[in-house]
Amino acid sequence: MATITEVLILEHALFRQLFDQIERIVDRSRSAREVKSLAAVVEGLLSGHGESETNLAYSVLDHVLAERGVLNHLHQEHREFDSHFARIRGASDPAEAVRLLKAALAASREHFQHEEESVFPVLERTLQPETLGALGGQWRKRDSVP
């Protein structure tokens, strides 16, 4: 059974691949509407990822992460993502929309790296292996249809 950190790292890797593909095609977008469509897909996926991450992994460690200032940093990064995507929704110039989407993707990559280097090790040191495994199982079930 995969632990929550293993599952999150795998999902981050999938996001990075998605971001690479989007960056390959976004420069050919001829309208801000096309870029906004791509951004909406990414935003929706990141939103779901972030909610599940918070509800399953970080809620268990709120007190530890808060004491280290990590939780505030994570929330700041999430506000930055929201700001990028809000600006993309308001963009009318295709070049500006592309620039903003690329900035959002870069910020997301940095956020993933920060989590993998700073937060996930805290999870692994603080939680029992059984708990990490159980949270990994809950992660897989979050999208399951009953």
pLDDT one-digit tens code per residue, 43-98: 999 988 888 887 777 777 666 666 566 666 777 877 887 898 999 999 999 999 99
- Predicted structure pTM score: 0.86
The percentage of the chain sitting over the pLDDT mark of 90, rounded to a whole number, equals 50
Q: Output b/e per residue, 23-53; b: 16+ Cβ within 10 A.
A: eeebeebeebebbbebbeebbeebeebbebb
**Is 145 a domain residue?**
no
Rounded to the nearest integer, the mean pLDDT of the chain is 86
Give the structural domain span for 120: 4-140
Q: Total structural domains in the chain?
A: 1
Q: What is the pLDDT of residue 3?
A: 92
Judge whether 82 lies within some domain.
yes
Does some domain include residue 123?
A: yes
In a domain, residue 71? The reply is yes
